[in-house]
Structure 1
Amino acid sequence: MGPHDEQPVVPALWIRHDSEILPLWWDRLCAEMGPQPASRYAGGLFDQDRRRPIAQWFNPALNAALLVAIETGPEWPVQRFAVFYAPPGSGFTKVHMNNHEWFTRTPQQSPTEKEAFAAAITSAEAFLQVEMDFI
């Protein structure tokens, strides 16, 4: 037994970071599919960092992240928030959950963009809770 074996496991810390999309997303997407397809993925979400709103969590200890963002092209009549997960170390995946969508032609009717975003955040936070049980 070495000196590090007795130390308790410290729970991993997730930090909310909504100001800009982390470079980690672009790096992982490029590694998985190459720069050209990555720039078109999810309506250019990771290429230009201009689509809002976003909600994002980052775990520096694990080099992992979770993102809620619009994945549909801006011209689509149905807009949808997706949850993306960058697991510890490497890789990239879209988390399949409920459809968090709204209709641009009827922006005041439920579900609104705001309601869809709030529901997507709830789903993302639930995913983080479950994921932490496996890490």
Structure 2
Amino acid sequence: MAPSGEQPVTPALWIRHDSEILPLWWDRLCSQIGPQPASRYASGLFDSDRRRPIAQWYNPALGAALLVAIETGPEWPVQRFAVFYAPPGGGFTKIHMDNHEWFTRTPQKSPTEDEAFAAAIASAEAFLQVEMDFI
């Protein structure tokens, strides 16, 4: 229980937001590597908001975000989902986790795109749990 007169500490909320990639990603990436390289990063993932599927969480209280998205070019035979993190206060990083990939030449063979996406989401959610322990 919080001491008299003090409010208990409430963890900041992570809100799922999958409809469009947040502008925060573009801003953070441009500030780190510049607009030209940013437009090519992960096959233009943050430049044109066209690569799907995505899963995204945003924490407005912290100014932080987490994203699961395809990072490989569409022409690659192996496609891979990556987890990207924009921590509170600035910056941008790719979280190195298990490879969440599938093969376009054998789309029905496990792991499928849906299985890889589900595994990447599970990794992202596990990361959020750990991250909240440090905030």
Same fold flag (TM > 0.5): yes
Structure 2 counterparts to residues 18-97 of structure 1, below 5 A? 18-97=18-97
Q: State how many pairs are aligned.
A: 131
Structure-1 separation of matches of 2:7 and 2:90: 26
State how far apart, in whole Å, the 2-side matches of 1:75 and 1:62 are: 36
- Gaps spanning 5+ residues in structure 2: where? none
Deviations 1:73-105 (A, max 9, x none): 110000000000000010000000000000000
Counting only pairs closer than 5 Å after superposition, residues 114-133 of structure 1 correspond to structure 2 as 114-133=114-133
TM-score of the superposed pair, with normalisation by structure 2: 0.95
**Counterparts of 1:62 and 1:89 in 2: how far apart (Å)?**
8
Distance across 2 between alignment mates of 1:57 and 1:125:
9
- Tell me the secondary structure at the aligned position of residue 91 of structure 1: coil
Q: State yes or no: 1:10 paired with 2:10.
A: yes
**Residues of 2 paired with 1:31 and 1:109: CA distance?**
40
- Output the amino acid matched with 1:95: I
Q: CA RMSD in A?
A: 0.8
Q: Distance in 2 between matches of 1:50 and 1:89?
A: 27
Q: Supply the AA of the counterpart residue of 1:7.
A: Q
Distance in 2 (alpha carbons) for counterparts of 1:54 and 1:81: 9
CA displacement, residues 26-49 of structure 1 (integer Å, 9 cap, x when unaligned): 000000000000000001000000
Counterpart of 1:26, as a letter, is W
Q: Matches of 2:40 and 2:9 in 1, distance apart?
A: 40
Equivalent AA in structure 2 for residue 94 of structure 1: K
In the alignment, structure 1 segments of 5+ residues that lack a partner are: none
Identity, % of aligned positions: 89
TM-score using structure 1 length: 0.95
Amino acid at match of 1:59: N
**Aligned residue for 2:107?**
107
State the alpha-carbon separation in 1 of the partners of residues 30 and 16 from structure 2.
24
Give the superposition deviation at 1:54. Answer: 0.1
Aligned equivalents of 2:78, 2:54: Cα separation in 1: 18
